[in-house]
Amino acid sequence: MVEKYKLISNSLSMIVNRLAQSVTAFVLTAAIARTLGVEALGQYLLAYSYYFMFVGIASQGLKILFTREIAREPEKTSVYLMSGTWLQLIFSFLSYGTLVIVVFLLPYNSKTSTVCYIMGLTIIPFALSNITEAIFQAKEKMHLIAIATVPVYILRLLIMIWAMQLKYGIEYLGAILFFSETLILVIEWILITRLVKIQWQIDRIFVWDTIKNARTFVAIEAMAVVSSRIQILILSLLGNEFLVGLFGGILQLLQPFLIIANSITVAMFPRLSKVADQGREKQQPIAESFIEILLTMGLPLFLGLLFFGKDLLVFIYTPSFAQGSLALSISAISLLFLPFIRTLCYLLVANHFEIVNLREVLITTTLGSLVGVALVSQYHLLGAAIMALLMTILGFSQYVYFTYTLLFPLNLWRMIRRPVIIGTLMLVVFLILKNINLDFLLTLIIATSSYILFVIFMSIHALGGINLIWEKFVKKG
């Protein structure tokens, strides 16, 4: 029971952290579009894409490796902290230098390039904080991550909005991002000193061994982050910043789901790693339950975007975003496949099949990029949306295939039964709301309330009914 509560606590902590990140990014995207315009939003999102890719290359592989190994060998935590931080610092400088060279060689205007250079500096503090967060995750103390990050995310948003009201440009937003991530790093180090006995020395043998062990993880994450942002990069080279702003605004509407999905699977990862040696039959119910949870969110969201995507774009941004409604509907189909991708990705790594993940991102990114160039050059915004969907389906197919062949077959009906029921109920709600044509804000409130009620009802039913819950929890309490 303690383990179950710990898993719930860690999942909620990661969700709060990622949700705060998602909500603030969402509000910031809308504020930039409304205050500075779609082209400025395109410049910001392009610079953020380069930062996101190069920080992922520099740090995400080490973070996953450290989380897994510290969960198994907690006595080596201090070695991972100091030597890992030193190694991460080297990777960060190399990654930032590469970003500067790449942006300099590409045909962007001087303002766009400058924004990329300034925002790219954030690679260094963010990558270093990934080491402390790996320790928090491995020790299943993920509430410390939320304590360090959530207040800073909120403060950063307020300062950025204030700066835009004072007519400061995108480059100043990049500088604010850098200083805020540096503040998060300082806070996490203060927290880590209370958790880990720090040994102020660098183990060079450990550093070299880590480089060798992390190669596969670094390659996986490098390809994964490039894959996640390749549509924006191709749009920026074959289109312009205006199209990047439109597509980025569309993707931002999917971010709340993606962040929640990533938070849940990150919280699940240490548990999967610990039970990997106890038999795969213990992993199957964990993986299937998380896929079911994510589908319960993804399916209704897909239906909602299908019915009210255009209204949502105009409501959040400006009327000029209405032209992206078809691209949004196409992109939203990926919500049906992402629950499988996020869960099975971590499941395979927990069982030391990270080579499968590497193979998947290589195939998906290579084929997706080749097809994407043709699609974007011909159809522009729609081409980017189709490209993103095709890459998602390709990744889903590979993860499901290798899970079946290397681990165990998934019980499809068990995973989709409750999500389909909730999705069907929400479909009825959406059809009614579409026909009565209410104000959009009222429509959003009714749809959200209906979804929450359906989830509560299904949860009560899954736990055995209201009477059983009363007997177990209320009377016992």
pLDDT at 103 over 50: yes
What pLDDT does residue 11 have?
Answer: 63
What pLDDT does residue 471 have?
Answer: 53
What pLDDT does residue 470 have?
Answer: 47
The residue among 153 and 256 whose pLDDT is bigger is 153
pLDDT at 118 over 70: yes
pLDDT at 99 over 90: yes
Tell if the pTM clears 0.95, that is, is over it: no
Q: Are 396 and 341 in contact (CB under 8 A)?
A: yes
Mean pLDDT of the chain: 84
What digits encode the pLDDT tens for the residues 324-339?
Answer: 999 999 999 999 999 9
Q: CB under 8 Å, gap of 24 or more: what pairs does 363-366 form? A: 363/394, 363/398, 364/227, 364/391, 364/394, 364/395, 364/398, 365/223, 365/226, 365/227, 365/230, 365/391
Listed range (19-23, 204-208, 406-410) with the worst mean pLDDT:
204-208
The pLDDT of 453-470, averaged and rounded, is 65
Sign of the torsion angle spanned by Cα atoms 373, 56, 71, 144: negative
The residue among 207 and 416 whose pLDDT is bigger is 416
What pLDDT does residue 10 have?
Answer: 64
The domain spans of the chain are: 2-475
pLDDT at 466 over 70: no
The residue among 198 and 110 whose pLDDT is bigger is 110
pLDDT at 468 over 60: no
3-state helix, strand, coil in the chain (%, to 5): 90, 0, 10
The residue among 22 and 109 whose pLDDT is bigger is 109
Q: Which of 12-21, 230-239, 432-441 has the highest mean pLDDT?
A: 432-441
pLDDT band at 473 (very low <50, low <70, confident <90, very high): very low
CA separation for the pair 375, 312 (Å, rounded): 26
Alpha helices in 239-353 (DSSP H): 241-275, 280-316, 325-332, 338-350
Place of tokens 């490796």: 65
3-state SS track over the chain: CHHHHHHHHHHHHHHHHHHHHHHHHHHHHHHHHHHCCHHHHHHHHHHHHHHHHHHHHHHHHHHHHHHHHHHHCHHHHHHHHHHHHHHHHHHHHHHHHHHHHHHHHCCCCHHHHHHHHHHHCCHHHHHHHHHHHHHHHHCCCCHHHHHHHHHHHHHHHHHHHHHHHCCCCHHHHHHHHHHHHHHHHHHHHHHHCCCCCCCCCCCHHHHHHHHHHHHHHHHHHHHHHHHHHHHHHHHHHHCCHHHHHHHHHHHHHHHHHHHHHHHHHHHHHHHHHHHHHHCHHHHHHHHHHHHHHHHHHHHHHHHHHHHHHHHHHHHHCCHHHHHHHHHHHHHHHHHHCHHHHHHHHHHHHHCCCHHHHHHHHHHHHHHHHHHHHHHHHHHCHHHHHHHHHHHHHHHHHHHHHHHHHHCCCCCHHHHHHHHHHHHHHHHHHHHHHHHHCCCHHHHHHHHHHHHHHHHHHHHHHHCCCHHHHHHHHHHCC
CA separation for the pair 257, 251 (Å, rounded): 11
What digits encode the pLDDT tens for the residues 16-53?
Answer: 777 788 788 888 988 998 898 888 989 999 999 899 88
pLDDT at 183 over 70: yes
DSSP string computed for 95-139: HHHHHHHHHHHS---HHHHHHHHHHHTTHHHHHHHHHHHHHHHHT
Q: Which of 254-258, 430-434, 467-471 has the highest mean pLDDT?
A: 430-434
pLDDT band at 9 (very low <50, low <70, confident <90, very high): low
Tell me how many degrees the CA angle 387-395-49 measures, rounded to the nearest 5: 55
pLDDT at 8 over 90: no
What digits encode the pLDDT tens for the residues 135-154?
Answer: 887 777 778 888 888 999 99
What pLDDT does residue 204 have?
Answer: 72
pLDDT band at 477 (very low <50, low <70, confident <90, very high): very low
pLDDT band at 430 (very low <50, low <70, confident <90, very high): very high
- What's the distance, CA 203 to chain centroid? 32
CA separation for the pair 112, 429 (Å, rounded): 44
pLDDT at 469 over 50: no
pLDDT at 236 over 90: no
